[in-house]
Amino acid sequence: MTRYESSIKQVPYPVQDVYAKLSDLSNLQVIKERINDPLIRQQIPADKIGQVESVVEKMEFTSDSVSCDVGMIGTVSLEIVEREDNKCVKYQSVSSPVGFTLWAQVLPTSESVSKLKLTLDADLNFFMKQMVDKHIKNGIEKMADMLAMIPYN
């Protein structure tokens, strides 16, 4: 397994609100709404906006899973496999060409502010790691940035 960790992000919401949103994946439908937000769009390279919009548009959410069609990779699905109240949500790949586990860890820094960190363990062979290492490092950081910006109330 290869481990990737995001930097710690400050989230201007109480830990209970952040955990509640992340532990019920149907709450993340807000991603579809926020894709047109100028703050989000400026973080996406201009030549990739159409591709990102296409992926986000095809995302499907339930309370315990999220799936999306990622072009040549196919459909990638995540399912919640463990919840630790107001601390951590553990997700696991269900249908993915590469097995992985993702943790979203949240901790309070005050009554109204939390911190968030994502950790990804991916089952990558040597050759795959060489091809995707940089992209996964960048992707996990951008995912953490996006999760730090969505509204949690």
pLDDT confidence of residue 146: 86
- Are the C-beta atoms of residues 93 and 101 closer than 8 Å to each other? yes
Residue 9: CATH number of its domain: 3.30.530.20
Block means of pLDDT (10 residues each) for the chain, length 153 residues?
95 96 87 77 80 81 87 81 96 86 96 96 89 91 90 84
CA separation for the pair 44, 56 (Å, rounded):
13
End-to-end CA distance of the chain: 35
Q: Is the dihedral of CA 109, 113, 114, 116 positive or negative?
A: negative
Please give the DSSP secondary-structure letter assigned to residue 85.
Answer: T
Strands 9-11 and 114-122, sheet pairing: antiparallel
pLDDT confidence of residue 16: 96
> For residue 5, what are the β-bridge partners?
119
Per the structure, the count of domains in the chain is: 1
pLDDT confidence of residue 31: 77
Put simply, whether the predicted model's pTM sits higher than 0.85 gets the answer no
What domain range is 78 assigned to? 2-149
pLDDT confidence of residue 137: 93
